[in-house]
Structure 1
């Protein structure tokens, strides 16, 4: 049983018609995998498109890109939390100099890709847990 209340889950996505790839970041309760076809009780905090890694497949997501994604609920007063990707390993969740948490491969990484009626396919990439 996890001591944390919340999770951040990163899914790799593909638009079915255009084959454009991107990333979605979801925030919600710990211990529940987000359903990208109907995310409640999760909220999508970040969405980026146009990231195609040469040789990558929706069924085997690459590492998230070398970017900083903001917009996560803050753990500490006056300290913003963000996801920092390197492009060469799993990202970290960082809240100023107070907290740095590594993402882990999602337990559902080996599960089949999810196809939603909105024209997108999603694959679980990585997650971390913390208390907001």
Structure 2
């Protein structure tokens, strides 16, 4: 089944270190919580919460990222891993995600897809657009 969703993400914690091997090379660990802007209620019921932890390796605002997300619904949860790349010029991060575990009504779920993250309207806010295919 194909699905699309849009989430509003807020940074709840960010730790950043400069590598000092070249100008503006940083490593960041970022925790975010999210809420849906647009999504379809599925077999596990209404959305409850979303939390992600992401590692970024950037030089001058561009670079790779990888992380994990946990999304809870009324009757189940999904655990996913993602990786992507941020483009400094467009300030967009694009990548892929894969579900590696489901519990409750989502036990046995398989799924993968793509995502785009862009800056939101306020500081520490981001908009996540995801799409993909799921199989239960």
TM exceeds 0.5? no
The structure, 1 or 2, with the larger RCO (C-alpha pairs under 8 Å, 6+ apart) is 1
TM-score, reference length from structure 2: 0.43
Q: Which has the larger radius of gyration?
A: 2
